[in-house]
């Protein structure tokens, strides 16, 4: 027992060190990008609003234009005073800046050498930092050591996505293979760091990998059958143009579906294996068929709520899209025409494929646990987060 606990502490310490090293490795690249002067983005603070004008359009939307004085906060020309003239831009915006607001600004050089400055967005670093700090504090306060492990897994997940999945997809490797391998790496961290290194954890990994592979294959098949291009959003189009045509946007759509499904798969798998273990412990004399039937009864109840959760997650993310259909009156075009719109079709494929993987993992994990998990196995409890 002591050896197992010592092994778990060493594993946690090693992964924590890896997380810190990864975060240190990521920061210099970001900092170097911000230091590039040229036409790159930099931070500035609003020092004065010299003129402001708002216009209400026929549809009720409000366009706000301002002329601002800014002071640069970074780069080689720190503290330089610059002027932003937003009165001539016919852009729909509700951003109204005040002195003291920090913003991101880009500098463009005209053919005659004159400079033009554009405000890209507000700097939201500190509110997000405090929110993340509150989240981390609550996780550790409630989960204690297990909560700390969960934060370590979160950091490692970010590292896998940023340093493994994204670079390989951008390099032209198979999105399906990269997505599955990267998800398995994340799964290893999520299961073994938070739940321990035992037979129950091994079964959870196997069940999730099987379901995840099936989800990836289904995603690839139906993205092809529905002829989805991945260009359903402005972000995808901007990424494709910025990458010089080297970015596989359809592949990114596939990877996104696989990673998004992983987030709910491991929770269901762990719960099912825990149910089977408890049933075996409560009644060691029960045969495998009885335990499977009882565990599936619990899993089906859990499944209905998880499928609804997955749907609501995607529906919430695509709520502006649904409102756009309603505002533009696209529904009267007919059901087949409405769902054939690529934006809506993408969300349908994303939701249904993820739900299929979620449904499949319940009997898979239950069957594996019934067959290979002995009654004396250690308890693998669902994560309380």
Q: How confident is the model at residue 31 (pLDDT cuts 50, 70, 90)?
A: very low
Mean pLDDT of 326-347: 66
179 and 274 belong to one structural domain: yes
Among the residue ranges 91-100, 198-207, 259-268, 325-334, the one predicted with the least confidence is 325-334
Assigned domain for 128 exists: no
Task: Indicate the residue among 123, 153, 180 that finishes a domain.
Answer: 123
CB 67 within 8 A of CB 48: no
Average pLDDT over every residue of 311-317: 71
Quick: pLDDT tens for 211-241: 888 888 898 899 888 888 777 666 666 666 6
Q: How many domains does the chain have?
A: 2
Do 367 and 325 fall within a single domain? yes
Q: Which residue has the higher pLDDT, 278 or 30?
A: 278
Distance of CA 92 to the CA centre of its chain: 28
What pLDDT does residue 13 have? 52
Over residues 130-152, mean pLDDT: 90
Res. 243: pLDDT tops 60: no
Q: Is residue 321 part of a domain?
A: yes
* CATH number of the domain residue 296 falls in: 1.20.1640
pLDDT, residue 246, reads 62
Q: How confident is the model over 35-50, as a mean pLDDT? A: 73
Split at pLDDT 50, 70, 90, the class of 21 is: very low
Which CATH number fits the domain that encloses residue 50? 2.40.50
Tell me: do 56 and 148 sit in the same domain. no
The verdict on 119 and 201 lying in the same domain is no
158 plus 305 within the same structural domain? yes
- Write down the mean pLDDT value for the chain: 76
In order, the DSSP letters of 317-375 are: HTHHHHHHHHHHT-GGG-HHHHHHSHHHHHHHHHHHHHHHHHHHHHHHHHHHHHHH--T
* pLDDT reported for residue 24: 42
Give the tens place of pLDDT for each residue, 161-199: 888 888 887 787 887 788 888 888 888 888 888 778 888
SS3 76: coil
Give the pLDDT score at 134.
Answer: 95
The full 3-state SS of 228-249, as one line of letters, equals: CCCCCCHHHHHHHHHCCCCCCH
Which residues constitute the domain of residue 94?
A: 41-123
Q: Is there a single domain that holds both residue 258 and residue 352? A: yes
């Amino acid at each position: 027992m002591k050896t197992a606990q010592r092994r778990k502490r060493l594993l946690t310490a090693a992964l924590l060190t890896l997380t810190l090293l990864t975060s240190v490795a990521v920061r210099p690249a970001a900092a170097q990008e911000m230091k590039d002067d040229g036409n790159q983005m930099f931070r500035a603070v609003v020092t004065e609003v010299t003129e402001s004008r708002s216009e209400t359009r026929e549809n009720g939307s409000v366009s706000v234009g301002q002329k601002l004085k800014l002071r640069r906060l970074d780069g080689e020309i720190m503290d330089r005073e610059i002027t932003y003239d937003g009165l001539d831009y016919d852009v729909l915006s509700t951003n109204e800046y005040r002195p003291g607001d920090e913003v991101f600004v880009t500098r463009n050089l005209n053919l005659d050498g004159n400079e033009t400055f554009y405000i890209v967005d507000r700097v939201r670093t500190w509110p997000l930092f405090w929110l993340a700090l509150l989240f981390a504090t609550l996780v550790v306060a409630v989960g204690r050591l297990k909560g700390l492990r969960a934060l370590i897994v979160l950091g490692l997940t970010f590292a896998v996505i940023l340093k493994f999945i994204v670079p390989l997809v951008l390099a032209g490797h198979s999105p399906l293979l990269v997505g599955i391998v990267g998800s398995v790496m994340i799964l290893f961290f999520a299961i073994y760091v938070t739940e321990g290194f035992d037979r129950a954890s091994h079964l959870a990994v196997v069940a999730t990998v099987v379901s995840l592979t099936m989800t990836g294959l289904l995603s690839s098949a139906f993205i092809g059958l529905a002829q989805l291009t991945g260009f359903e959003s402005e972000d995808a189009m901007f990424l494709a143009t910025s990458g010089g045509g080297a970015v596989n946007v359809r592949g990114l759509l596939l990877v996104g579906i696989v990673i998004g499904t992983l987030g709910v798969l491991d929770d269901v798998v762990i719960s099912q294996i825990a149910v089977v273990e408890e049933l075996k412990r409560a009644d060691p004399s029960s045969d495998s068929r009885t335990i499977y039937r009882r565990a599936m009864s619990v899993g089906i109840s859990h499944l209905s709520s998880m499928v609804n959760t997955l749907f609501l997650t995607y529906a919430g993310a695509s709520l502006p899209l649904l409102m756009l259909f309603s505002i533009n009156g696209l529904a009267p075009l007919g059901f087949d025409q409405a769902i054939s719109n690529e934006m809506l079709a993408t969300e349908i494929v994303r939701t249904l494929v993820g739900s299929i993987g979620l449904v499949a993992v319940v009997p898979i994990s239950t069957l594996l646990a019934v067959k290979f998990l002995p009654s004396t196995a250690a308890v693998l409890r669902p994560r309380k987060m």
